[in-house]
Amino acid sequence: MSVNISEKKGPVVQAKGIHKIFGNMNHVLRGLDLDVGKGETVVILGASGSGKSTLLRCINFLEAPTAGSIEVDGTLIRADAPANEREAKALEIRRKTGMCFQSFNLFPHMTVLENIIEGPRTVLKQNRKEAEEYADELLDWVGLTDKRGEYPSCLSGGQQQRVAIARSLAMKPKVMLFDEPTSALDPELVGEVVEVMERLAADGMTIIAVTHELHFARDVADRVMIMDGGNWVEEGTPEKIFNNPEQERTKRFLAHIL
Amino acid sequence: MGIEVDGAPEQGIPEEADRVLRQIEGRRKKYRRNLLISFAVLITLLVTAMIVLKLDFSFMMKWLPFILAGSGYTFLVSVLAITLACILAVVGALGRMSSNPVFNAVATSYVSLIRGTPLLVQVYMWYLALPQIGKALEELGLHGVQAWLTLPAVPAGILALGVCYGAYMTETVRAGIQSIKIGQTEAAMALGMTRGQTMKRVIFPQALRVIIPPVSNEFIAMIKDSSLVSLMGVWELSYRAVKIGRRHFQSLEMLIMVALIYWLMCILLQFVQERIETHMARGDRRV
Ligand SMILES: Nc1ncnc2c1ncn2[C@@H]1O[C@H](COP(=O)(O)OP(=O)(O)OP(=O)(O)O)[C@@H](O)[C@H]1O
Ligand SMILES: [Mg+2]
């Protein structure tokens, strides 16, 4: 099954000059650019508090950037656009963007199947049959067909995260954002989630992932980007970043996590 | 899970575990038995007390239909008032959390004013003071307003109770909504849901679970507060009991009877609440 249906050429995500300043003049992102091409897998690495989550959340406007512009699959939002226009465009962008959270955030009052069809039914107004058919395909794809009618509380963390991925994919997104999808998991459950992410990448999905799974960064990513203090420090192929980093800060960071 | 306590132990379960499981089951049975005995003793004591006090049961039975007829008012007033209160509470809670300054200020003042004044005063306000406001407005040239604002006792009572309980429940609903983790909102928004869809599909159904027990509490309190409409001369449950009791100098019988009727109504309500809660708990981990 192929989950990526984007037909456009060129970058799927284009962020320009992103600044984010939180309430008390906490300048977290300091003018970041990010271009991600169709089918590309980008892994963002960086110390805790460097702003990785904030950047991901700016891309789908869960957090409104203070300055700069975001374009996802042809929908462009500028930070200084009028509020109502920004809100409408943000909805559009979120519909083209899937996001997986560290803590899964499945809807606990819905079964696995209901979680997956919720977006298509409520947002895309699909009929139940159509939504369920695709949900069943996705469940099969993440290997959880037998959990179809269970509630999330009966699932292991790894299973929950795989359902969360399926829930995002049900919206047929053009890009998937992952914010440390495995860091809340017991070590033995990490593999099953990473494996799903690998297959997603292999199927041609555009992926931006913040993850400390170095194996994923090394073997799956097309590009690794290092962030520090809200700035890019260095970027390149995994080979270059892990074997021949140029920047002193990259070396220090890698020494810390390797 | 699949252990049969009463049958033969399943394969692979050590004898010791089997013994422990039997003990646990035994304790549970004993607890249930003792609970039943305790209730039975309490009820016996209650009935004995009634007999010792030489209650006039035939007198009670004679007036029962008349008193019960008053419970119609109690029921009508309570149900309509709680409906109104629920609507006001949801709107109020959304207002209290709203980023619209006008909506927010109105909701905040509503809660503050109503919670800060006695229900008794509010009841009289709706019944006695509102017509006066109508009169003043009429004199300012608004024709027909006075008639509109002069409310019969029952509607005035429903409005008074509904508006009052709506204010208290606003805070309950708000607390319920705010108890849902921000991650739920974010997950819904990330799917592209609007704020309204997020509230309706994700937040509210979960908040409801938290809200149901305190709202049932409010409902139970309201059933009893509905006796305040008797202040406006409505012949509801407690009013009838007091009247008849005084007239025949048998207040004790009448009051016990009316108390039991209220109690029964509340037990019924509690039963409904438990059913709803069980239904709501369907996403919980089954042990
Ligand atoms: N909603 C918020 N309000 C105020 N400050 C925030 C908010 N969210 C994040 N920050 C601040 O932004 C900074 C960067 O946070 P962010 O979560 O993006 O870091 P991160 O790189 O994802 O770190 P981690 O590896 O720990 O997840 C932190 O100093 C944090 O205090
Ligand atoms: Mg983070």
Residue B10: pLDDT band (50, 70, 90) is low
Q: Check residue A97 and give its pLDDT.
A: 97
Instruction: Report the run of H or E that residue B7 belongs to, with start and end.
Output: none
Could you tell me the distance, in angstroms and rounded to a whole number, from the CA of residue A96 to the centre of ligand 1? Answer: 24
Is the dihedral angle over the CA atoms B22, B26, B27, B28 positive or is it negative? Answer: positive
Q: Identify the residue whose tokens are 């089918």.
A: A39
Could you tell me the distance, in angstroms and rounded to a whole number, from the CA of residue A29 to the centre of ligand 1? Answer: 10
- Does residue A5 surpass a pLDDT of 70? no
Q: Say yes or no: CB of residue A183 within 6 Å of ligand 1.
A: no
Taking the CA of residue A243 and the nearest CA in chain B, the distance in Å comes to: 36
Neighbours of A162 (CB within 10 A): 29
Residues of B in contact with A95 (CB under 8 A): 191-192
Q: Check residue A208 and give its pLDDT.
A: 98
pTM summary value: 0.85
Q: Say yes or no: CB of residue A46 within 6 Å of ligand 1.
A: yes
Closest CA to A181 of A195, A29, A172: A195
Q: Check residue A256 and give its pLDDT.
A: 87
- Whole-angstrom Cα distance, residue A86 to residue A64? 9
Mean pLDDT, residues A164-188 taken together:
96
Q: Which residues contact A84 (CB under 8 A, 6 or more apart)?
A: none
**Residue A107 in contact with residue B202, Cβ under 8 Å?**
yes
The residues facing A180 across adjacent strands are none
Could you tell me the distance, in angstroms and rounded to a whole number, from the CA of residue A53 to the centre of ligand 2? Answer: 4
**Residue B156 in contact with residue A55, Cβ under 8 Å?**
no
Neighbours of A121 (CB within 10 A): 19
Q: Say yes or no: CB of residue A54 within 6 Å of ligand 1.
A: yes
Q: Say yes or no: CB of residue A52 within 6 Å of ligand 1.
A: yes
**Residue A242 in contact with residue A216, Cβ under 8 Å?**
no
Residues of B in contact with A62 (CB under 8 A): 186, 189-190
Q: Check residue A61 and give its pLDDT.
A: 96
Residue B2: pLDDT band (50, 70, 90) is very low
- Ligand 1: residue of A19, A25, A26 to mutate (most ligand atoms within 8 A of CB) is A26
Q: Check residue B73 and give its pLDDT.
A: 85
Do the Cβ atoms of A153 and B192 come within 8 Å? no
- Comparing CB atoms, the residue among A91, A106, A167 nearest residue B194 is A91
Q: Mind listing the pLDDT tens digit for each residue in B155-190?
A: 999 999 999 999 999 999 999 999 999 999 999 999
- Whole-angstrom Cα distance, residue B189 to residue B106? 28
- Does residue A153 surpass a pLDDT of 80? yes
